[in-house]
Amino acid sequence: MKIAIVEDNAMIRNVLLAVLEDTPGCTVSGFSAAQPALEACRDSVFDLLIMDYRLPDMTGIDAMRQLRADPRHAHVPIVMVTADSDSLLRLEAIRAGATDFLTKPVNIEELRLRVGNLLALRRAQLEVETREALLSAVIDASSASIVIGDATKPDLPLIYVNRAFEQLSGYDRDQIIGHNCRLLTAETPDHPVRQALREASENRTGGSFRLRNRRPSGEMFWNQIDLHPVPGPGAAARYIVATQTDVTAEVEASRSRDRLGARLSDIAQLSDAWFFEFDRDLRVSYLSPAMAQALDVAPEEVQGLSASRLGPHIQVDPEGGGGTLHDLLARREAAAHLPLRVQRRDGKVCWMQISITPFFTAEGRFDGLRGFASDVSTIIAARDAAQQAERAQAAFVAMMSHELRTPLTAIIGLSELLEGSSTSDAMRGDLQTIRTAATDLTAVLSDVLDHAQLEGGRLQLAASGVNLTGLLSDMVAELKPRAEAAGLALRLEIEGDAAAERRGDADRLRQILRNLIDNALRFTVQGAVTVTLDLPDAARVRLEVADTGVGIPEGDIDRIFQPFVQLDASMGRLHTGRGLGLSLSRKLAEAMGGTLKVQSQPGVGSRFTLDLPLPAMPAPPATANLELAGAPVLIADDNRANRKLLSLMLSRLGAEVTLAEDGRAAVDAWAPGRFAMLLLDINMPAMTGTEVIADIRRQERDKGLDPVPAFAVTANARPEQVETYVAAGFDGCIAKPLSIAALSGAIGNRRPAPQT
86-122 burial, b at 16+ Cβ within 10 Å, e below that, comes to eeebbebbeebbbbbbbeeebeeeebeebbeebbebb
For residue range 639-674, list pLDDT tens digits in order: 888 888 888 888 888 889 999 999 999 999 999 989
Q: Which long-range contacts (CB under 8 A, 24 or more apart) does 252-256 make?
A: none
pLDDT band for position 753 (50/70/90)? very low
How far is residue 391's CA from residue 501's CA, in Å, rounded to a whole number?
37
Give, for 732, the enclosing helix (H) or strand (E): strand 732-735
Q: What residues contact 410, with CB distance under 8 A and at least 6 apart?
A: 639, 641, 642, 644, 645
Return the DSSP state at 754: P
Res 754 pLDDT > 60:
no
Summarize the confidence of residues 523-531 as an average pLDDT.
Answer: 91
Cβ atoms of residues 707 and 752 within 8 Å: no
**Residue 30: predicted pLDDT:** 93
**Residue 104: predicted pLDDT:** 84
**Residue 570: predicted pLDDT:** 41
Return the DSSP state at 620: P
- Give how far Cα 545 sits from Cα of 195, 515, 528, 603, 614, Å: 95, 10, 10, 17, 18
For 270, phi and psi rounded to 5 degrees?
Answer: -95, -20
Q: What residues contact 405, with CB distance under 8 A and at least 6 apart?
A: 442, 445, 715, 735, 736, 737
Q: Could you tell me whether strands 488-496 and 464-466 are parallel, antiparallel, or unpaired per DSSP bridges?
A: unpaired
- The beta strand positions in 280-399, using DSSP E, are 284-287, 314-316, 335-343, 349-360, 366-375
Helices (runs of H) and strands (runs of E) counted in the chain: 23, 30
For residue range 151-172, list pLDDT tens digits in order: 898 888 998 888 889 888 899 9
More confident residue, 739 or 605: 605
pTM: 0.45
**Residue 756: predicted pLDDT:** 32
The answer for 234, left when phi > 0, alpha when psi is -120 to 50, beta otherwise, is left
Closest by CA position to 203, among listed 245, 160, 232: 232
**Residue 658: predicted pLDDT:** 94
- Give how far Cα 599 sits from Cα of 304, 520, 581, 698, Å: 67, 13, 17, 57
Cβ atoms of residues 64 and 97 within 8 Å: yes
Q: Could you tell me whether strands 2-6 and 48-52 are parallel, antiparallel, or unpaired per DSSP bridges?
A: parallel
Q: What residues contact 81, with CB distance under 8 A and at least 6 apart?
A: 7, 50, 51, 52, 53, 60, 101, 102, 103, 104, 106
**Residue 401: predicted pLDDT:** 64
pLDDT band for position 269 (50/70/90)? low
Of 64-68, 219-223, 483-487, 733-737, the poorest mean pLDDT is in 733-737
Cα of 669 vs its chain's centroid, Å? 60
Closest by CA position to 545, among listed 523, 529, 561: 529
More confident residue, 321 or 149: 149
How far is residue 183's CA from residue 224's CA, in Å, rounded to a whole number?
16
Choose from 404-413, 500-509, 632-641 the range with maximum mean pLDDT: 632-641
pLDDT band for position 254 (50/70/90)? confident
Q: What percent of the chain has pLDDT over 70?
A: 86
pLDDT band for position 77 (50/70/90)? very high
pLDDT band for position 749 (50/70/90)? very low
**Residue 285: predicted pLDDT:** 84
User: Could you give the 3-state DSSP secondary structure of residue 666?
Assistant: helix
**Residue 311: predicted pLDDT:** 63
Q: What residues contact 394, with CB distance under 8 A and at least 6 apart?
A: 453, 456, 458
pLDDT band for position 390 (50/70/90)? low
Of 362-376, 563-577, 661-675, the poorest mean pLDDT is in 563-577
How far is residue 79's CA from residue 97's CA, in Å, rounded to a whole number?
10
Positive or negative torsion for Cα 259, 262, 268, 274: positive
Q: What percent of the chain has pLDDT over 90?
A: 25
More confident residue, 101 or 325: 101
**Residue 693: predicted pLDDT:** 95
**Residue 312: predicted pLDDT:** 66
Return the DSSP state at 209: E
How far is residue 451's CA from residue 458's CA, in Å, rounded to a whole number?
10
Res 54 pLDDT > 70:
yes
For residue range 452-468, list pLDDT tens digits in order: 666 666 667 777 778 88
**Residue 535: predicted pLDDT:** 84
More confident residue, 40 or 420: 40
Return the DSSP state at 616: B
pLDDT band for position 265 (50/70/90)? low
Summarize the confidence of residues 21-39 as an average pLDDT.
Answer: 92
* Structural domains of the chain ordered from first start: 2-137 (3.40.50.2300), 142-246 (3.30.450.20), 253-375 (3.30.450.20), 382-455 (1.10.287), 464-612 (3.30.565.10), 623-752 (3.40.50.2300)
Of 387-401, 558-572, 614-628, the poorest mean pLDDT is in 558-572
**Residue 649: predicted pLDDT:** 85
**Residue 290: predicted pLDDT:** 76
- Give how far Cα 300 sits from Cα of 285, 289, 303, 304, 370, Å: 10, 10, 5, 8, 18
**Residue 150: predicted pLDDT:** 92
Q: How many residues does the chain have?
A: 756
Q: Give me the torsion for CA of 272, 277, 283, 287, rounded to 10°.
A: -20
For residue range 315-346, list pLDDT tens digits in order: 777 655 567 778 888 888 898 888 888 877 77
For 7, phi and psi rounded to 5 degrees?
Answer: -150, 125
Of 227-236, 272-281, 304-313, 396-405, the poorest mean pLDDT is in 396-405
Summarize the confidence of residues 626-630 as an average pLDDT.
Answer: 77
How far is residue 679's CA from residue 642's CA, in Å, rounded to a whole number?
11
For 648, phi and psi rounded to 5 degrees?
Answer: -65, -45
Give, for 176, the enclosing helix (H) or strand (E): helix 173-176
Q: Could you tell me whether strands 48-52 and 78-82 are parallel, antiparallel, or unpaired per DSSP bridges?
A: parallel
Cross-strand pairs, 240: 149, 229
Summarize the confidence of residues 76-80 as an average pLDDT.
Answer: 92
For residue range 300-313, list pLDDT tens digits in order: 777 888 877 776 67
Cβ atoms of residues 147 and 161 within 8 Å: yes
Summarize the confidence of residues 537-541 as an average pLDDT.
Answer: 85
